Amino acid sequence: MENKKMIVKAFSRIGIGYGAFIATTLLLQLGFGTVVGVLQIFGIKIPLGNWYVFFSSLANYVVGGAISYLIIRDMPVAQRANSERASGKMLLAGFLICISALYLGNLIGLALMKVISVLQGRPMINPVEEILNGLSGWAIFAVMVVMAPVFEEILFRKILIDRIRLYGDKAAILVSAFIFGLSHGNFYQFFYAFFLGIVFAYIYIRTGRLRYTILFHMAINFIGSIVGLKVQEVPWLIAFYSLIMLMAVAAGIVVFFQNRKNLIFQSGPYETWGKGSVRILFLNFGMIFFFLISTVTFVLSQISR
């Protein structure tokens, strides 16, 4: 019973920490918007383009990430178990599974938003596409391909997983992926971010090296942003790109099912998996706070546009 209370308290603190991250980013966006609006009143126009997105994104990660880290930093960190050295075969398999996770998760998100669009009788706006269409190549590369993967892997893999592996690999993977998915703030990204979060978490836990997930994250974002946009500019490349992606998705699915029985999950000192684990992991004050803050971002991602 004492261990159960301790575990619930730990995950509640995690929820508060990452809820604070989302709340901070919302407040920063509100602050930036207010400043821009006030300056426009005095005839000073701030272009909401490349540099604005770059510095506002950097502020979100640095300030929000710092607040989240300060809340959970003194939580006990799991001692790293024996790690595997990633072979070329393992990295290739992991990358193909990442492509599958990206593609299938994106399909689910698009299908869900299509249903919501029909039910509401109005088109849903993909906030990611809206942002990308307003940025130049260097800004997309700097924010999406470099900044986001580095900060997000530190925040959602290194800092988070190191503090929840005490409760078992399965709990660490599920919770970190769920928080990662919801932190994207919209259904267009939630599903593929959640699936990718599972893959990234497993790779990090098995290898103990953040550089692999950072590189995978960079590659996925590069394919989804810069490559995707450039392909649309050349009609004949669209079919070729689609074919390559479908082949990679199919290969990733095959690789996953071939290797699913070889997946290794270690138990933690305070193993939290099985009957009642969902209630312990998610139905506590901090995680409920995180869910509520996340809901606000999901709503704002549509009504604010």
Per the CB < 8 A criterion, the answer to whether 279 and 12 are in contact is: no
CA angle 113, 119, 120 (to 5 degrees): 85
User: Is-above-0.85 flag for pTM?
Assistant: yes
pLDDT at 238: 86
pLDDT at 79: 73
Per the CB < 8 A criterion, the answer to whether 21 and 68 are in contact is: yes
If one compares 104 and 45, the residue with the highest pLDDT of the two is: 104
pLDDT in tens, 132-145: 777 888 999 999 99
Q: What mean pLDDT do residues 215-240 have?
A: 87
Whole-angstrom CA distances from 197 to 82, 136, 295 are: 22, 28, 19
Helix (H, G, I), strand (E, B) or coil at 84: coil
The pLDDT confidence band at residue 39, using thresholds 50, 70 and 90, is: confident
CB atoms within 10 A of CB 12: 18
Distance CA 284, CA 8 (A): 7
pLDDT at 1: 58
Q: What mean pLDDT do residues 245-261 have?
A: 93
**Least confidently predicted of 75-84, 89-98, 167-176, 240-249:** 75-84
pLDDT at 80: 66
Q: What mean pLDDT do residues 166-185 have?
A: 95
Q: Does the pLDDT of residue 36 top 90, yes or no?
A: no
Distance CA 285, CA 9 (A): 9
